A and B are shown apart, each in its own frame.
With several copies, the nearest count.
Chain A
Amino acid sequence: MADLLKLSVPGKPEYVGMVRMAISCLANSVGFDIEAIEDIKVAVSEACTNALCHSKNRAGGYEVYCEMSDDKIVVSVVDQSGGYDKNSYKEPCLDQPKEGGLGIYIIKALMDEVDIFTEIGIGTRIKMVKYTK
Chain B
Amino acid sequence: MTLHIQKSFDHNKGLWNIAPQGEVDISTAPVLRSCIDEAFNEENGNIILDFDQLRYMDSTGLGVIIGAYSRMKEKGYSIVLKNPRKNILKLLQITNLDRVLCAELYE
Which residues does A use to contact B, with CB under 8 Å?
13-14, 16-17, 20, 35, 38-39, 41-42, 45-46, 48-49, 52-53, 92, 94-95, 97-100, 102-103, 105-106, 109-110
Chain B contacts for A106, CB-based, 8 A: 58-59, 91, 94-95
- Contact between A13 and B27, CB atoms less than 8 A apart: yes
Instruction: For B1, give its contact among A17, A53, A98, A100 (CB under 8 Å).
Output: A17
Q: How far is the CA of A17 from the CA of B26 in the complex (A)?
A: 9
Cα distance, A98 to B70, chains bound together (Å) = 9
Q: How far is the CB of B17 from chain A (nearest CB, A)?
A: 23
Interface SS majority for chain A: helix
B residues contacting A by CB (< 8 A) are: 1, 23, 25-27, 56, 58-60, 62-64, 66-67, 69-70, 86-87, 90-91, 94-97, 100
Instruction: Check B26 against A105 for contact (C-beta < 8 Å).
Output: no
Contact B60 A49 (CB under 8 A): yes
Contact of B96 among A16, A20, A45, A95 (CB under 8 A): A95
For B25, list chain A residues within 8 Å (CB): 13, 16-17, 20, 45, 49
Q: Give A113 to B91 CA distance when docked, in angstroms.
A: 18
Complexed CA–CA distance, A45 and B96 (Å): 20
Give the distance to chain B from A37, nearest Cβ to Cβ, in Å.
9
Rounded to whole angstroms, the CA-CA distance of A122 and B87 in the bound complex is 34
On whether the beta carbons of B26 and A99 are closer than 8 Å, the reply is no
Q: When the two chains form their complex, are residues A42 and B91 in contact, meaning their CB atoms are under 8 A apart?
A: yes
- Are B96 and A100 within 8 A (Cβ)? no
A-B contact pairs, 5 of them (CB 8 A): A17-B1, A20-B25, A95-B96, A97-B69, A106-B94
> Smallest Cβ distance from B58 to chain A, in angstroms?
5
In the bound assembly, the distance between CA atoms of A3 and B12 in angstroms comes to: 49
